[in-house]
Amino acid sequence: MLAGPYATMMLADLGAEVIKVEPPGGEISRQVGDSYFASLNRNKTHVFLDLQSEEGQHRLAELVAQSHALLVNMKPSAIRKLGLTYQNLSRFNPGIVCVAMTGFGLDGGDDPAFDYVIQAATGVAAMTGDPDGPPTLPGYSSADNSTGLTAALGLLAMVVAGRGGQVDVSLRDVMLSQLNYRAAAYLNDGVEPRRHPNGAHSYYVPAQLFSTADGYLALFITHDGFWRLFAAEAGIEGFPTMAERSARREEVLAVVEAALTQDSAVGWENRLRPLGIPAAAVRSLPEALDATPGVVVRAGDFRLVGSPIRVAGYQPDYRPPPPVGGHSS
């Protein structure tokens, strides 16, 4: 519903010709809503195929013969049953790149693997939220989106290499990979992740959300130079080194919290950013979109967030998603 469509939309935005293969009547995410579907399927054409029929398989073989890649987002058993692997499709095109996006890998079984399930299974939920509260899920589909980008990267790597083959990308493996330094700390030093209040970073201090006179501020002090500039602006003395700030975390946070109550989150952002200090007022999504109108594009009747990849000399031609009753490629 999300990971595969997002991967191929990123490629379509960059100029790839993407043909979306849907079952008769359309794929299930169309039922969520028109804007949901548009947000993941712009710039694509489509074809309706019953892949369980002889005619559908024949048409699929024709598409494979003239394509660089086939990306599939299904359970492993369905991928194999429908013959959507390189082992099966290479007879039509030895150069085809077959990308399988699954929950746990092509050989990992058919256990349900939606985004929230993967966040729970890989430790993401356990390390998110207040330490005295329950595990928390991020406010967007981090596992699906991350897996989509990873699958698109694997697909492109094979196409650039000029060889066909099978690419296997799973939501579980992608999320564990993205826990890089957290996993390394446990595997090498035996340090288990633990939650700090206000989403505080485990190493850097102060690096978290802070309450201000009006709103919340994200402040991310990663080295001593940032601290000197911030301390001077906030009227704070002491704690000159990263090691000392880490060792005296609670003392540092107390003086920073007191200082930040003297101005609003937006006020602090306006004061700190010119100094080069990483800081931002916490905004809602509508506020963030209003503040960055340049990211919003129009695709037919839909207003959407455009591609995050800016290529010099290239401007995507944003087209609306294929309608259910529209032309089938």
Alpha-carbon distances, residue 145 vs 95, 189, 322 (angstroms): 27, 30, 21
Q: Which residues of 170-179 are buried (b: 16+ CB within 10 A; e: fewer)?
A: bbbbbbbebb
**pTM for the full predicted model:** 0.93
The dihedral over CA atoms of 29, 31, 35, 40, expressed in degrees to the nearest 10, equals 10
For the chain, what is the mean pLDDT? 96
Q: Which CATH number fits domain 3-180: 3.10.25.10, 3.40.50.1100, 3.40.50.10540, 1.10.10.10?
A: 3.40.50.10540
What is the residue type of 180?
N
Residue 135 has pLDDT above 80, yes or no: yes
Structure tokens at 138: 């991020």
Assign 25 to helix, strand or coil. Answer: coil
Coil/strand/helix, residue 97: strand
* Spans of all domains in the chain: 3-180, 198-282
Does residue 123 register a pLDDT over 90?
Answer: yes
Distance CA 231, CA 253 (A): 12
pLDDT at 7: 98
pLDDT, tens only, 284-326: 999 999 999 999 999 999 999 999 999 999 999 999 999 986 5
**Domain 198-282, architecture per CATH:** 2-Layer Sandwich (3.30)
Could you report the per-residue pLDDT of 240-249, keeping only the tens digit for each?
999 999 999 9
Which residues are catalytic, by number? 144
Average pLDDT score over residue span 10-18: 98
Percent of the chain with pLDDT over 90: 96
pLDDT at 329: 45
**Which pLDDT tens digit goes with each residue over 189-248?**
999 999 999 999 988 999 999 999 999 999 999 999 999 999 999 999 999 999 999 999
pLDDT given for residue 328 in this prediction = 46
Do 217 and 269 form a contact (C-beta atoms < 8 A)? Answer: yes
pLDDT at 49 over 90: yes
**Using 50, 70 and 90 to split pLDDT, how confident is the model at 327?**
very low
Question: What percent of the chain has a predicted confidence (pLDDT) above 70?
Answer: 98
Q: What is the pLDDT of residue 324?
A: 84
At residue 1, the pLDDT reads 87
